[in-house]
Chains A and B, each alone.
Chain A
Amino acid sequence: MWHILKYVARRGRITEPPPEPLAGARRPAHLIHDELLAILGRALAIRHVDAGSCNGCELEINALNNPYYNIEGLGIRFVASPRHADMLLVTGPVSRHMEVALRRTYDATPAPKLVVAVGDCGCNGGIFGESYASRGGVANVIPVDVTVPGCPPPPAELLAGILAAVRARPPVGEGEAAQADFAPGFN
């Protein structure tokens, strides 16, 4: 245990400020907290769905959890069920064999049901395109709010895309906290 604590203490904190939505500039974490609270009224829960990618995008999505990006520190976390999620982060292309699973995941997600399509393939099918086996981009199967191109997009761009999708939503109204939007349920 002593060895572990010493190792941790020697490395210190390395977390970097997160990027502006879809821009290069970086802003302090507490502003992101405030913004998430203003728009969503709580932390952001993301469900990742791999609908047929080469796994490159997953590697970069996983990197968001490392101490440099420290996405949980921003009030954003990945959850295990669509029923707990505000946002679906979908990588593609959507294979025909994953089409039903993706639709069901979407149906099981409560409002606000944000969808971010990740990677060139998630945007438009990329190098795999559309075929007997592939539906191409995510938008061909479920509605998409924001696309994050790149092959794969680096973590900072993923984070910028996630924040852009949140920002595209109107803030929750005073007092009412948009009850209908956040009631647990399936739509």
Chain B
Amino acid sequence: MEVFGLDCRFERLDAPVPTFGARVHAAQWSALALAVAEAKGRLVSLWGSDERAVGDGFAVSAAYASADGLLWVKLGLDAAKPVYPDISRFFPAAIRMQRAARDLVGIEAEDAGDGRPWLRHGAWPADYFPLRLENTGQERFEAQADAYPFVVVEGDGVHEIPVGPVHAGTIEPGHFRFSVVGEKVLRLEERLGYKHKGIERRFMGMDTDEGARLAGRVSGDSTVAYAWAYAMAAESLVGAKAPERAVWLRAVMLERERVANHLGDLGALGNDAAFGFALAQFSRLREDWLRLNRECFGHRLMMDGVCPGGVARDLDADACTKLRRQVADIAREVAELKDIYDEHSGLQDRLVTTGRVTPELAQRLGLTGLAGRASGQAADLRADFPWPPYDGLAVTACTHRNGDVAARVAMRFEECFASLRMIDALLAGLPGGAIHEPVLAMRDGVGAGWVEGWRGEVFVALETNAQGRIARCHCHDPSWQNWPVLEHAIIGNIVPDFPLINKSFNLSYSGQDL
């Protein structure tokens, strides 16, 4: 396939979502980035790898979302001087990904503005690159000096509020540096990477089945999305297809994961606006939901429910009946709670116009997923590239244009109703047959998976080595794109609204820290 008139051939990968791969040279690398940006495509992910084992030096990969599908391009880099053209000029979201690729693989984006480390704090020295093949990942280092230069805001009455890494609630760790005047936030700078636990290094050398367990633990709230994206990658690598019943069950689980998270968030958002009733009721519904997960899928969060080749557990007729009955119950309850939300002027007062991201800003910064759709970015893989079983469900992306907390709340209600409808339709028409076909390992294979998780698009790139084990597995969370936008969403708002705004995005720390 030819793309944007570039003279490189894209090969289609054997994945249910249209995915194309190509090796490019440096000029094509930049030309493609420009072409995708001009066509209003998105940067999905950027990562590095060490390919010296197959005699290719290092490599940098980028994945773009275009109208044709996912484009995965790989640029080989000189082993002695691994540098590549910066693409953050076209996609601001690339900045942190490029910094992370430098920290992990030691490849450098030429003339990129921000030279600070991102995932490396003080745990390992600057000349150690955990994903390089000469390193085992088992090295131990004395803690290094860790002085991170935050951008300083100066002026009369400006002061800083440092928050974290240990936060006040039951949430993940990260550092926020607010520069404020009085209560008003002038600037927020995030520093993440506290949860970096070496996931990508851990993948290297695993067999593809072991990898599935690890992929399901990149971000616990999106375990089904990751497990499915990973399974899609492992299956596309060998050209295998999961049985029809299995992919329907995967969709049931993915939509149940979406509903579970939306129920949790809707309650927490109400609570952050001092509406405790909402937390009590939504957390009750979420608990009902998780208990039935455990009964029907064997796990409250459905971890390890999706595996390469299919799913781990079948549903019997009795379980289907229970699940469908619950869908009806929850739909009724959520509708009633939505009325209460809509009519509660005190609550709406806190939500409307708070933490606003305009559609223009969202487009420019690459805001994606649920938060993107709340700011007029209509991308939803289930609607844009409906892979089975979504091809039969007529999914339309819910969107709003206000881009405030209220819009992100409204998105959750609407997606909740849409997912409930889908779960019911899937269970009503569940095809028969096997739920698992073993997927064999393949040597020197390449596979990719791309799934619309509850937060946004989850992407997995998987490559195997000459022994058929994992050479490189890169898992990408949409939080990479959305964290930098949160820094903009808070500007001009007051400090006490930060928890509310932050929760309305509900981004993953673990998924981006890896």
| B280 neighbours in A (Cβ, 8 Å) | 66-67
Total cross-chain contacts (CB, 8 A): 165
Given known pairs A63-B287, A101-B166, the reply for A55 and B202 (CB within 8 Å) is: no
A62 at the interface (CB under 8 A from B): yes
Q: Which of B138, B165, B301, B509 contacts A56 (CB 8 A)?
A: B301
Given known pairs A53-B510, A56-B301, A131-B202, the reply for A11 and B168 (CB within 8 Å) is: no
Q: Is the CB of A54 within 8 A of B173?
A: no
B171 at the interface (CB under 8 A from A): yes
**Measured CA separation A126–B140 after assembly (Å):** 19
| B223 neighbours in A (Cβ, 8 Å) | 54, 56
**Measured CA separation A20–B462 after assembly (Å):** 45
B290 at the interface (CB under 8 A from A): yes
Given known pairs A56-B220, A131-B137, A151-B303, the reply for A68 and B173 (CB within 8 Å) is: no
1/0 contact string of B189-203 vs chain A (CB within 8 Å): 000011111110110
1/0 contact string of A32-75 vs chain B (CB within 8 Å): 00000000000000001111111111111111011110000000
**Measured CA separation A128–B301 after assembly (Å):** 19
Given known pairs A55-B219, A128-B199, the reply for A8 and B169 (CB within 8 Å) is: no
Query: Which residues 112-162 of A have a CB within 8 angstroms of B?
Result: 126-134, 151-152, 154
Q: Is the CB of A3 within 8 A of B340?
A: yes
Q: Give min CB distance, B103 to chain A, whole Å.
A: 11
Q: Is the CB of B171 within 8 A of A7?
A: no
Q: Is the CB of B198 within 8 A of A152?
A: no
Most central of A78, A98, A99, A105 by chain B CB within 10 Å: A98
B23 at the interface (CB under 8 A from A): no
Q: Which of A52, A58, A101, A133 contacts B130 (CB 8 A)?
A: A133
Q: Is the CB of B221 within 8 A of A97?
A: no
A-side interface residues, number (CB < 8 Å)? 51
**Measured CA separation A78–B166 after assembly (Å):** 14
Residue of B nearest to A55 (CB): B220
A96 at the interface (CB under 8 A from B): yes
Q: Is the CB of A93 within 8 A of B197?
A: yes
Q: Is the CB of B220 within 8 A of A97?
A: no
Given known pairs A53-B220, A54-B219, A132-B137, the reply for A80 and B169 (CB within 8 Å) is: yes
Q: Give min CB distance, A176 to chain B, whole Å.
A: 33
Interface size class of B (residues with CB under 8 A): 35 or more
Q: Give min CB distance, B188 to chain A, whole Å.
A: 20
B469 at the interface (CB under 8 A from A): no
B28 at the interface (CB under 8 A from A): no
Q: Which of B137, B171, B202, B339 contacts A50 (CB 8 A)?
A: B171
Q: Give min CB distance, B27 to chain A, whole Å.
A: 36
| B141 neighbours in A (Cβ, 8 Å) | 132
B121 at the interface (CB under 8 A from A): yes
Q: Is the CB of B194 within 8 A of A66?
A: no
| A61 neighbours in B (Cβ, 8 Å) | 170
Q: Is the CB of A56 within 8 A of B130?
A: no
Q: Give min CB distance, A136 to chain B, whole Å.
A: 10
1/0 contact string of B418-453 vs chain A (CB within 8 Å): 000000000000000000000000000000000000
| B323 neighbours in A (Cβ, 8 Å) | none
Q: Which of B128, B217, B284, B286 contacts A54 (CB 8 A)?
A: B217
B343 at the interface (CB under 8 A from A): yes
Q: Is the CB of B173 within 8 A of A152?
A: no
Query: Which residues 138-171 of B have a CB within 8 angstroms of A?
Result: 138-141, 143, 165-166, 168-171
Q: Give min CB distance, B478 to chain A, whole Å.
A: 15
Q: Is the CB of A54 within 8 A of B510?
A: yes
| A3 neighbours in B (Cβ, 8 Å) | 339-340, 343
Q: Is the CB of A14 within 8 A of B284?
A: yes
Residue of A nearest to B218 (CB): A54
Residue of A nearest to B122 (CB): A97
Q: Give min CB distance, B50 to chain A, whole Å.
A: 15
Q: Is the CB of A97 within 8 A of B194?
A: yes
**Measured CA separation A97–B166 after assembly (Å):** 12
**Measured CA separation A163–B206 after assembly (Å):** 38
Q: Is the CB of B286 within 8 A of A152?
A: no
Given known pairs A54-B220, A66-B283, the reply for A95 and B195 (CB within 8 Å) is: yes
| A55 neighbours in B (Cβ, 8 Å) | 172, 219-221, 508-510
Q: Give min CB distance, A83 to chain B, whole Å.
A: 12
Q: Give min CB distance, B72 to chain A, whole Å.
A: 26
Q: Is the CB of A52 within 8 A of B303?
A: no
**Measured CA separation A99–B122 after assembly (Å):** 10
B177 at the interface (CB under 8 A from A): no
A31 at the interface (CB under 8 A from B): no
**Measured CA separation A93–B219 after assembly (Å):** 14
Query: Can you name 30 A-B pairs with beta carbons within 8 Å?
Result: A3-B340, A3-B343, A7-B277, A7-B337, A14-B284, A48-B169, A53-B172, A53-B195, A55-B172, A61-B170, A62-B264, A66-B283, A67-B283, A68-B284, A78-B170, A95-B123, A96-B143, A97-B193, A100-B143, A101-B194, A105-B166, A132-B123, A132-B130, A132-B201, A133-B196, A133-B197, A133-B198, A133-B201, A134-B198, A151-B303
Shortest 10 CB-CB distances between A and B: which pairs?
A56-B220, A96-B123, A133-B198, A66-B283, A80-B168, A55-B220, A54-B220, A131-B198, A134-B197, A54-B217
List 7 extra interface pairs beyond A66-B283, A128-B202, A151-B217, CB under 8 A: A48-B169, A50-B173, A52-B195, A67-B283, A97-B194, A97-B195, A154-B294
